[in-house]
Amino acid sequence: MIYHLLLARKWESRQGSATAAIPEQDEFLHCCDERQLAPVRKAYFPPGSKVVALGVDPTLLSAETRYEPGSGGEVERFPHVYGPIEALDVIPVLDL
């Protein structure tokens, strides 16, 4: 299971859409695994903001998933999804 984090209001605006998340500035969607959830949430989202984590099984996605270093040059590898995540692929939605 991997997770794509986003602000809750952005997730709410996508309700009813066939696509849950689409790459915007980068050519991929930044994701993380379960143990990376808290550090990623803390590093990239303001304290007190409502954040959700869209859980997906990368083996079921139509888009390719690659494990690559983070955007800050970290040695740790993060899953990047090279394409959209369809709403039907989202298994759990976790409130962070």
> Domains of the chain by range and CATH?
2-95 (3.20.170.20)
Question: How far apart, in whole angstroms, are the C-alpha atoms of residue 33 and residue 78?
Answer: 7
For residue 55, the model assigns a pLDDT of 96
Question: How far apart, in whole angstroms, are the C-alpha atoms of residue 24 and residue 5?
Answer: 14
Residue pair 36/78 in contact (Cβ under 8 Å)? The answer is: yes
Query: What is this structure's pTM?
Result: 0.91
Provide mean pLDDT across the span 19-23.
92
Question: How far apart, in whole angstroms, are the C-alpha atoms of residue 85 and residue 66?
Answer: 14
* pLDDT tens digits along 73-90: 778 899 999 999 999 999
Q: Distance between terminal CA atoms of the chain?
A: 16
For residue 63, the model assigns a pLDDT of 94
